[in-house]
Amino acid sequence: GAGVSQSPRYKVAKRGQDVALRCDPISGHVSLFWYQQALGQGPEFLTYFQNEAQLDKSGLPSDRFFAERPEGSVSTLKIQRTQQEDSAVYLCASCTTGEQYFGPGTRLTVT
């Protein structure tokens, strides 16, 4: 069946621009996670949803980061007024019974 999909795969933004990254989880997966992965590092937790409820957003690095999942399926990660340090790969994962499946990621480059 279809896996987790993310769009766009690549995004170049000028410093100060807002960006929106989309995640389509595996159908029926209740849990959805967003991660940030810097070059050469493992994924770092940003936020977690169970259905439409954002249960943990402790990993969001600043109030410029905002995530939503209004209908409990598709999720959007929004970054306002992007900064160069926001450049990274943003990974989305959906989860069932402890097994977490990742999308291909969105590589964000802020110039």
Residue ranges binding another protein (CB under 8 A): 4, 6, 31, 33, 40-45, 48, 50, 55-56, 59, 91, 93, 98-105, 107
Contact 67, 46 (CB under 8 A): yes
Q: Pick between residue 15 and residue 38 the one whose CB is nearest to another protein.
A: 38
Residue 71 in contact with residue 77, Cβ under 8 Å?
no
CB of 91 to another protein, least distance (A): 5
For residue 61, is the peptide bond before it cis, meaning its omega torsion is within 30 degrees of 0? no
Question: What's the min distance (Å) between Cβ of 55 and another protein?
Answer: 6
